[in-house]
Amino acid sequence: MKAVIMAGGYGTRISEESAVRPKPMVEIGSEPIIWHIMKTYAHYGITDFIIACGYKGHMIKEYFSKIFLSEADVTFDLANNTIEYHRSRVEQWRVTCVDTGLNSMTGGRLRRVREYLDGETFCMTYGDGVANINIADEIEFHKKSGRKATMAAVQAPGRFGAFTLRPGQVAVEHFQEKPDGDGAWINGGYFVLEPTVLDYIGSDAEIWERKPMQQLALDGELNAYRHADFWHPMDTLRDKHVLDDLWASGNAPWKVWE
């Protein structure tokens, strides 16, 4: 099975980083967040990746070319203008970087990678969020349902301290630092999709999360796989610092691999 990773947006809410690199290349620890996402998929045996590139996509291509070169034994035959690669210590991944357009929306980007999917069931997620989701279980859940699309339903992490004030009250009686969200389930990415979902996307301007997903829901073709454990987006610089701190602690919840 292949995994598509959305990596083409401008990342405007984390412009401190995305001004110089695409958002999926923003580092957690010493590796870009896209590497962390791919390591999660690889832990469940999915090692064939399609990266939907757009904004500064050349930096993603350069990253993969450089890690291959830096982790392999290489013979440069300058006289014959050839390069021979020997032992390589890099991840055993197959990575296809696809230029899906600078201004394409998420649906348009998904539509543009169609030719690389081989008409098979595939996974898809965003290049800016990590989770300890059991992808194998989600795939099994999807297959048993017989529906066209499954998304990970998650609950947003709390961002701010919260308390209650009644009309006229000034004394705070109870305070909770960073409570969980309000109980609502939201789209956490980590989709499992049948290739027929691409028929719901009409153009590059289509936003996957709007008309296509709404129509799938109306047609009874959209599953929610509940993931009540760790999930965290990297929308802002504050999010990056939270994820950096978790990684530095040695106990990052999304690190399901050895």
pTM: 0.87
pLDDT band at 253, cuts 50/70/90? very high
Task: Note the pLDDT of residue 163.
Answer: 60
What is the average per-residue pLDDT within 100-114?
A: 96
pLDDT band at 116, cuts 50/70/90? very high
Contact 158, 179 (CB under 8 A): yes
- What are the φ/ψ torsions at residue 59 (nearest 5 degrees)? -70, -30
45 CA to centre of own chain? 17
Is the model's pLDDT at 181 over the cut of 80?
Answer: no
Contact 187, 149 (CB under 8 A): no
- pLDDT tens digits for 186-230? 999 999 999 999 999 999 999 999 999 999 999 999 999 999 999
In angstroms, the CA 10 to CA 183 distance is: 30
- pLDDT tens digits for 119-146? 999 999 999 999 999 999 999 999 999 9
In angstroms, the CA 70 to CA 66 distance is: 6
